[in-house]
């Protein structure tokens, strides 16, 4: 069981790489398999206590890659406007900014200690819901887009607040060490 979550995350990466090149009628299968593998890899890792920070990083990279590729493919196919993309991925942009900043400061270890947040899980679930609605129920796209943008914004604020707290804690620790 130890390697199953990483195999499932790797499957999502493979699906992301193939997605733009398969016919649109296969897209729903890719979305459903990817969504199920995302749920299953996390459940297996927690249930069998085989979670690791490397596996968590692989899972996050697979999720973000799949989401970005699917969003770009769907927008490119005219399913919705490119203008929605920044709002849909606001949380992902905030996390990427924080990761880049932490890397720049050589504080990458802080990401090893960061647990997944419910706001982030809800934003990801919303993104996968959007994919299903775009492909199966296109008349409801606008309603789901509003919900997804809201969830992504809440998650971006949550992760942004976490980032600010980490910076404040870092400043306090530096000050205490110099005294």
Quote the tokens at residue 40: 């299953």
pLDDT value at residue 111 = 57
* CA angle at 70 for the pair 144 and 10, rounded to the nearest 5°: 120
Nearest residue to 57 (alpha-carbon basis) of 69, 45, 49: 45
**CA–CA distance, 100 with 144 (Å, rounded to integer):** 30
Residue with token string 């949550």: 158
**CA–CA distance, 39 with 22 (Å, rounded to integer):** 23
pLDDT value at residue 131 = 96
**Rg of the Cα trace of the chain?**
18
pLDDT value at residue 91 = 77
**CA–CA distance, 157 with 7 (Å, rounded to integer):** 31
* N-to-C CA span, the chain: 48
| Chain mean position to CA 141 | 20
- In order along its 179 residues, the chain shows pLDDT tens digits of 788 999 999 999 999 999 999 999 999 999 999 999 999 998 998 899 988 878 888 888 899 899 999 999 999 999 988 888 888 888 788 777 777 777 787 766 665 556 678 998 899 999 999 999 999 999 999 999 999 999 988 988 888 888 778 777 777 877 777 65
pLDDT value at residue 108 = 60
Instruction: Read off the DSSP letter of residue 114.
Output: P
Nearest residue to 120 (alpha-carbon basis) of 108, 112, 110, 128: 128
**CA–CA distance, 22 with 70 (Å, rounded to integer):** 12
Read off the pTM.
Answer: 0.84
| Contact criterion met (CB below 8 Å) for 156 and 91 | yes
Quote the tokens at residue 135: 């492909």
**CA–CA distance, 53 with 75 (Å, rounded to integer):** 33
């Amino acid at each position: 069981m130890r390697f199953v979550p990483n195999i499932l995350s790797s499957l999502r990466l493979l699906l992301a790489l193939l997605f733009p090149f398969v016919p649109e009628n296969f897209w729903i299968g890719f979305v459903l398999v990817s969504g199920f593998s995302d749920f299953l890899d996390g459940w297996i890792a927690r249930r069998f206590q085989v979670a690791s920070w490397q596996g968590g990083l692989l899972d996050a990279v697979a999720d973000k890659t799949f989401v970005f590729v699917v969003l770009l493919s769907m927008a490119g196919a005219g399913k919705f406007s490119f203008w929605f993309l920044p709002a849909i991925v606001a949380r992902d942009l905030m996390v990427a900014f924080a990761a880049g900043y932490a890397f720049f400061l050589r504080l990458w270890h802080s990401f090893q200690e960061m647990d997944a947040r419910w706001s982030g899980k809800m934003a990801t679930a919303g993104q996968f819901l959007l994919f299903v609605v775009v492909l199966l129920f296109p008349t409801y796209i606008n309603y789901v887009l509003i919900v997804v943008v809201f969830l992504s914004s809440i998650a971006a604020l949550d992760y942004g607040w976490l980032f600010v707290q980490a910076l404040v804690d870092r400043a306090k620790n530096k000050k205490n060490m110099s005294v």
